[in-house]
Amino acid sequence: MSRLVAFAAIQGAYNIVSKAEGKFKTAMDKYGANQPLAFPNTAYYLPVIYSVLGIKVEKLADAEQVLNRCKSLLPPHIKDKIYVPYLGHTLDAGMAAILAEEVAEAIRYVEDPDFYLPSEDCDVERGRIWLGAADDTVLRKRGIEFVDGRAPGFAAIVGAAPNPQIAKEIAEDYQKKNLYVFMCANQSGTTFSEQLIEAGVQIGWSTRLVPFGPDISAAVFALGFANRAAMAFGGVQPGDYATVLKYNKDRVFAFVNALGEVNAEWAANAAGAINWGFPTIADTDIPEILPTGVCTYEHVVSSVPYDKMTARSIEVRGLKLTVAEIPVPVAYGPAFEGERVRRDDVYLECGGGKTPCCELVQIADMNTIEDGRVEVIGPDIKDVKPGSRLPLAVTVQIGGRKMQEDYEPILERQIHHLVNYAQGLMHIGQRDIAWYRISKQAVDKGFTLEHIGKILHAKFHQDFGAIFDKCQVKIYTDEAKVNEIIPKAQAAYRVRDERIEGMTDEGTETYYSCTLCQSFAPTHVCVISPERTGLCGAYNWLDCKASFEINPTGPNQPVQKGETLDETLGNWKGVNDFVYKASRQSISSYNFYSLVFDPMTTCGCCECIAAVLPLCNGIMTVNRDYTGMTPTGMKFTTLAGVIGGGNVTPGFVGHSKFNVTQRKFVSGDGGIHRLVWMPKILKEEIRDRLEKRGQDIGIPNFVDMIATEENGVTEEEILAFLEKMGHPAVTMDPILG
């Protein structure tokens, strides 16, 4: 490798460690040794330090041992006529720089607590665009995309492009390929993030263009995100640096794009990233490291033209992408799913309570439909003025020898994601509460309502082609026609709901597995029944059945229940045999309907976590969106860290929001009668179903008996509320008896 690269990286590491040590000494003098030191709302302490060194940095004094370790990692300066194997020294210097920068960034949170915006999205109007360290809510929400393949990796961009237009082109190219873009560092008085804003590009987690910070030290937030994913989803233990680094090389496909002049501190960060197996691809003429070794292929590649930056980066990282071309005039991919179309940018709006709107997918006789036919009945975009509103009914007819009525709602639910993948379109809701917004920018590029049909036809064939042969789409904007279709659609919705609601675990001999998350939690095995949806909330029994039809060798396999070993707890021999094999002989048995006795395994993707509250003789549940304290004395992030590695943890279990109101929810422990506490946001979200469930169990006001954080976050506070309300859990047999 180049001696010049090693020289720059080592010199940069010395500079970074020295600066961090200076900040540390100043902070000690000003705040004292016991000053708390942390990134907000995370159970992973300072994540790079915690994952690599196993050190829990909780207060300022704890950082001293980290900085001492950094100094011990610094290799000798390179001198003339002395030649050594430079790569090892370069890697050590890079790791020292990264660890020191994490200390420095944590101190920044103390010195300037408002520097970073604790949000998923930027407040551009007020000039607050730097998001800093992602909290655990963001990690859980976004980490699942790295599990299921929606996000194959990320590009860490440092510096700035020559102009905003080139920055926009690079960012959008990565978005089209479904990659996240993590941004930091300035170049010539500007940053890549600020260039995107100038070019009119929306940035933030929702668009996968994440502005971590204006300094090179903010690169630690990208590496910290990767390491937290390894601990949260992969079960990697803190301090096992070899495993955490190998995990990232093998499973987190990331790389660095260095745009602009590369100084010594940038070189140190690039050297640090090589430890993770993340190569650097630069636009300038810098010394290269071409031999393979730590990274999959080259370590540092230079002088890459901007129009080839994304392709070359993906090639060097060894990332294999499958990107389908969709016949629409706008960019298309999951990166645009979170994009908002604001009021002033709207060309056409449909639904959302402002006009009648519905979506309906139905099976059809193959002889009555024409594959690929898309019709717009009524005014199209070219027929209306900017800012207009139209009624809308999107109807899709599907025909095929393997198509079944059970698949209709599965395909229908995909409309939300598939339409949102188009740049300049916003889709919220589903069924008869759908809401569409189409931006002026999309219309300027030639987008019409017909393109919605083209998207659905192409993506349904791509994703579900194994179960149908023909797909025809009709889009209605004629108000009389829309008002005629909506009652028919609502009747179809009711029939579907009754069909799934009418299914029972007792009446079904075949359940389905889901092992999608095993890439992160190797021993986790979800088994999904009609009355026990997947803990991530994304899969129910019908979804898994459809998935198996589409991909017979995929993660959703049929599981025969076999002999009933315990009807109350939900334990079957066939399920146990499958779980034992699928968990690599780690889990021999678990129960569907209990969290007290050998509950199901839980992975980090669960929507909610339930836990026993012994004093209240009941259970609580908390959803991942709630960031406050729970009556267990732990927040959601801590609970997920404790049980989320694919473990069977008596007293705790992960589950979906929908599962709370299913008939079999913890029925082995007394059922929903045991539910005594949940966050208010979750309670309000599922209130209608909770009220119906209360009617079913003969306690009409049951929903009001469930405490929330407004009633207390300790068991003593909750018990007083339960006794006042006459909650049934108070008089039930002991839950741990």
For residue 323, give the nearest of 163, 159, 149, 196 by alpha carbon.
149
pLDDT of residue 82: 45
Task: Give residues with Cβ within 8 angstroms of 737, minimum separation 6.
Answer: none
Sheet harboring 470-476: ordered strands across? 357-363, 392-399, 470-476, 374-377
* Higher pLDDT, residue 224 or 428: 224
Average model confidence (pLDDT) across the chain? 92
pLDDT of residue 403: 86
pLDDT single digits (tens) 648-697:
999 999 999 999 999 999 999 999 999 999 999 999 989 999 999 999 99
For residue 526, give the nearest of 508, 542, 544, 500 by alpha carbon.
544
Check whether 323 has a pLDDT greater than 60. no
Q: Where in the chain is the domain with CATH 3.40.50.2030?
A: 3-317
Check whether 87 has a pLDDT greater than 50. yes
pLDDT single digits (tens) 248-301:
998 889 999 999 999 999 999 999 999 999 999 999 999 888 776 788 888 999
pLDDT band at 546 (very low <50, low <70, confident <90, very high): confident
Q: Where in the chain is the domain with CATH 3.30.1650.10?
A: 336-500
pLDDT single digits (tens) 687-736:
999 999 999 999 999 999 999 999 999 999 999 999 999 999 999 999 98
Class in CATH terms, 3-317: alpha beta
Distance CA 281, CA 316 (A): 8
- Residue that the structure tokens 């589903």 belong to: 430
SS (H, E, C) 41-53: CCCCCCHHHHHHH
pLDDT single digits (tens) 148-180:
677 889 999 999 999 999 999 999 999 988 899
Contact 620, 626 (CB under 8 A): no
For the domain bounded by 336-500, which CATH number is listed?
3.30.1650.10
pLDDT of residue 499: 72
Q: Reduced to 3 DSSP states, what percent helix, strand and coil does the chain have, rounded to the nearest 5?
A: 45, 20, 40
Distance CA 501, CA 698 (A): 19
pLDDT of residue 519: 61
What's the token pair of residue 310? 């994304």
Task: Give residues with Cβ within 8 angstroms of 261, minimum separation 6.
Answer: 159, 187, 284
Domain 510-731 CATH assignment equals 3.40.1470.10: yes
pLDDT single digits (tens) 396-413:
999 987 888 878 888 888
Q: Where in the chain is the domain with CATH 3.40.1470.10?
A: 510-731
The pTM of this model reads: 0.73
pLDDT single digits (tens) 442-486:
999 999 999 999 999 999 988 888 788 889 999 999 999 999 999
For residue 443, give the nearest of 383, 358, 390 by alpha carbon.
383
What's the token pair of residue 604? 């980090």
